Amino acid sequence: MQATMDSPLGKLTLTESDGALTRLAFTPDASYMPPQTSLLQTAVWQLNAYFTGALQQFDLPLRPAGTAFQQQVWQALLRIPYGHTFSYGQLAAAVGRPKACRAAGSANGRNPLPILIPCHRVILSDGSLGGYSGGIDKKRMLLDLEQNQNT
């Protein structure tokens, strides 16, 4: 099942399978699909609350598909506090592989549930943004939203 919602970042499409969210995609040309399940309704509600600053932590069942290493990285992303950032080196260290910055960055970039698994909170060690699946402008908007709500 899928649902499409409008957000400050543009249209987002959520995918649910077997009672868990499996994908969140930036889909600028998607047609509106209302949420047909209670999970998709809750996900849309929580995302809207997040974008208004009323929610800082999602409470949704997530099931991203990936390798064991990617799963470790995505779990580490969930531990980065709202309004804070990690460098790719800190992310690699958080999964016990401090020299695997590139591998951690690659896993971060393959996150199928951006925003919900906050890959936008990972930046370069010099403080610059690095990349983002939805584009740097969206990453900056998410970081600014969290910084403004966290102060």
Q: Cα separation of 123 and 103, whole Å? A: 14
- Catalytic hit among 80, 104, 119, 143: 119
Closest by alpha carbon to 60, among 24, 91, 32? 24
Distances (CA, A) of 95 to 57, 70, 72, 109: 21, 10, 6, 16
Distances (CA, A) of 30 to 14, 77, 106: 11, 28, 27
Expressed in angstroms, the distance from the first to the final Cα of the chain is: 37
Contact of 130 with 105, CB cutoff 8 Å: yes
**Beta-bridge mates of residue 63:** none
Give Cα 130 distance to the centre of its chain: 15
Please indicate whether residue 119 is annotated as part of the active site: yes
Residue 88 CB neighbours (<10 A) = 20
Instruction: Please give the positions annotated as active site.
Output: 119
